[in-house]
A and B are shown apart, each in its own frame.
Chain A
Amino acid sequence: MSTATESRPISTYLFRRPRVRLFSLLALPMTWIVGVYILSLFLLLITAFWYVDPFTSLVRPGFTLDNFQAVFTEPAYISTSLRTLWIALAVTILSVIFAVPLGLYMAKIAPAWLRNALAVAITLPLWAGYLVKIIAMRLVFTEEGFFNWLMAPFGIKGPGFSMPIVILTLTYLWFPYMALPVYTAIRQIPTNLFDASSDLGARGFMTIYRVVIPLITPAIIAGSVFTFSLSLGDYLAARFTGGATQMIGSMIAANINLNPPMAAAFSMVPITFVVIYLMVARRTGSLERM
């Protein structure tokens, strides 16, 4: 026995000192969370109360609520916030609409080889650079681009760079984050539940609505946290595929050099949206089951 303890001096030391044990466990994550994450958020919040010297355009510490007032009163800011919220919701809904049937097919119908092939196909775009994918969408939907060329024989013309294309691009970007948790959740549903549902007289859609959806709601919420919050913060998709469409991110990006306190105040908007979203998600009880 004594040989074993002697050969593990660190374990022995830690065993006797629970506080040190706790500290060594938490030191690294706490440094990260407090030192990098919380601190930078805090600095951001502080800056939102500062102002820019109108004479020299230099940022000056101080206290003003003008920036927040502008966020809530300036029509351009309000419409941009609402537009971004709507885009993020549309991306999330679109992702769910695509992910559920796909997940069902992959998990319950497709043969093993096809299931694997589809899983690879879903994750493959994650390997490509984010900017590359946005530029690809720009090229596809440009006036003389692939989409218009393909659709020309049918007399269909793309909408040009606009909000629908931004929604499509963001859905393309974030779809894997919805598809994978949904697929995994559907796979975990025992097949005999489908049989039972069918025995009780439910048809396909009724089974999806009454059995599948309730069981995979936690997965959908988990996926939607990604699709929703990532869409809220994005601005490159709007810049390259949105035409004149402005999102919260575009406003922050435009302000970051011109008026950093205003950018800081505006960045509170998506944070607020996400917090509200998470609170609503928690209400539904889905977060506990995640």
Chain B
Amino acid sequence: MKRKKLAVLSLLSASVLILGGCSSDGDSSGLSIEVPDIPMHEAMGEFEGELNIVNWSGFVEPAWTDEFTAQTGCKVNPRVAGTSDEMVTLMRTGNYDIVSASGDAALRLIVGGDVQPLNIDLIPNFGGEIAEGMKGNVYDTVNGKPYGVPIGRGANLLQYNSDVTGGAPESWDVVWETDSPYAGKVTAYDAPIYIADAAVYLMYHNPELNIKNPYSLDADQLAAAIDLLKQQNSIIGEYWSDPVAQITSFVGGNTVVGTSWEILRKFAAKENLKTTLPKEGSTGWYDSWLVSSTTKNVNCAYAWMDYTSRADVNGAIAMNFGMAPANIAFCATSEKAQAHCDEFAAEDEEFFKQVWPWTTPIETCLDGRTDVKCTSFQEWTNAWLTVKG
């Protein structure tokens, strides 16, 4: 309760601070968000000997952890999580030191006091050639303080079966409108953050709703997005959260169009399955390393972030997972690396300008509005569960 009051207070103070207005590109400068005061690590000390990581599948592999352990003596214990929500739950157990959080988990962890601000001076490999679009985003930089070290990013693309659709759909309308020619063969991502995809569509087609940032919705805008999702529910064949189920659904012909990642299309390995970025733009996941506020292995955690920021290691993770690396110095290291960077648009800022990075919605409006209260992730969650009936 006390915290809630604090939040309201902070909202008021935030509104004073950002009267000047703030750009809608998700930049955190000027936006003030109330976060618990957690001290950052001052100087490197002795390595503790182990590091417990919560990570996406494919982020932590012996191919690069062995060298790390040999260098630092920190034994790596990875724990794979399937969703952002699971990552948050795991980090809150206090049993893990570091997490590869997407933006929709990151801000939740920061605001909840589960992760600590970072001392960038202790991460020499950080910063050099981080892709422009991954610097200082609100999901990992709050009130000017960095909380995360970028790992990589990817867009939520529209995947389609070209045998059925012919060419590439120009618009997301094939997955949203009830008169879609592919009704019943549509797939959608099964998580509350997918509400932002509806908001992106509404931003383009319903300008009167005045949505400026898909993660910053007031109650009316959220209701409009939920209405659109309920409309979509009637033409959905399957929702997916498990990548394997999504791939088999596309390959087996049950799904013709729907949200996908570039890497899933690659895994499906079928000529007729293609991806496109429709005219409305899309959402995307931007992953960063965040360090637990209660970690006992803080030196190993810093060493890990520094090690994985190295161009070759960052590139190895990006190639293994199938995403654009954060450190674009990797692209120039070899022909194979360049091919990977091109395929995943790593250096293509124009492409990623159309992509809204996943960010946890919070009560403070991220688009700078101060006259309304925005809907929090908890409201998104409750609303999402009413969509699927």
**Which residues of chain A have a CB within 8 Å of any CB of chain B?**
52-58, 70, 74-77, 79-80, 138-139, 142-145, 160-161, 239-240, 243-244, 246, 250-251, 254-255, 257-259, 262
Chain A residues with CB below 8 A from B237, complex form = 160-161, 243-244
Tell whether, in the assembled complex, residue B88 and residue A55 are in contact, meaning their CB atoms are under 8 Å apart.
no
Tell whether, in the assembled complex, residue A258 and residue B192 are in contact, meaning their CB atoms are under 8 Å apart.
yes
Chain A residues with CB below 8 A from B113, complex form = 56
Interface: B381 (CB within 8 A): yes
Among candidates B92, B253, B382, B386, residue contacting A143 with C-beta atoms closer than 8 Å: B253
Known: A53-B3, A56-B108, A142-B254. A255 touches B88 (CB 8 A): no
27 A-B pairs with CB atoms under 8 Å apart are A54-B4, A55-B3, A55-B362, A56-B111, A57-B377, A57-B381, A58-B92, A58-B112, A70-B382, A76-B388, A79-B389, A138-B248, A139-B252, A142-B253, A145-B252, A240-B245, A243-B237, A243-B254, A244-B238, A244-B239, A246-B389, A257-B83, A257-B86, A258-B85, A258-B192, A258-B385, A259-B385
Tell whether, in the assembled complex, residue A55 and residue B238 are in contact, meaning their CB atoms are under 8 Å apart.
no
Chain A residues with CB below 8 A from B88, complex form = 57, 257
Tell whether, in the assembled complex, residue A80 and residue B389 are in contact, meaning their CB atoms are under 8 Å apart.
yes
Interface: B376 (CB within 8 A): yes
Tell whether, in the assembled complex, residue A52 and residue B378 are in contact, meaning their CB atoms are under 8 Å apart.
yes
In Å, the complex CA distance between A185 and B86 comes to 47
Tell whether, in the assembled complex, residue A161 and residue B3 are in contact, meaning their CB atoms are under 8 Å apart.
no
Among candidates A142, A244, A254, residue contacting B248 with C-beta atoms closer than 8 Å: A142
In Å, the complex CA distance between A250 and B388 comes to 10
Among candidates A55, A80, A144, residue contacting B4 with C-beta atoms closer than 8 Å: A55
In Å, the complex CA distance between A76 and B85 comes to 22
Interface: B50 (CB within 8 A): no
Interface: B143 (CB within 8 A): no
The distance from the CB of B379 to the nearest CB of chain A, in whole angstroms, is 7
Name which residue of chain A comes closest to B7, CB basis: A55
Chain A residues with CB below 8 A from B239, complex form = 244
The distance from the CB of B373 to the nearest CB of chain A, in whole angstroms, is 11
Among candidates A57, A77, A143, A255, residue contacting B252 with C-beta atoms closer than 8 Å: A143
In Å, the complex CA distance between A74 and B378 comes to 16
Interface: B146 (CB within 8 A): no
Known: A54-B363, A76-B388. A259 touches B254 (CB 8 A): no
Q: Would you list which residues of chain B between 79 and 101 have a CB under 8 Å from chain A?
A: 83, 85-86, 88-89, 92
In Å, the complex CA distance between A259 and B111 comes to 17
Most B CB within 10 A of own CB, among A56, A145, A240, A243 = A56
Among candidates B7, B89, B242, B252, residue contacting A142 with C-beta atoms closer than 8 Å: B252
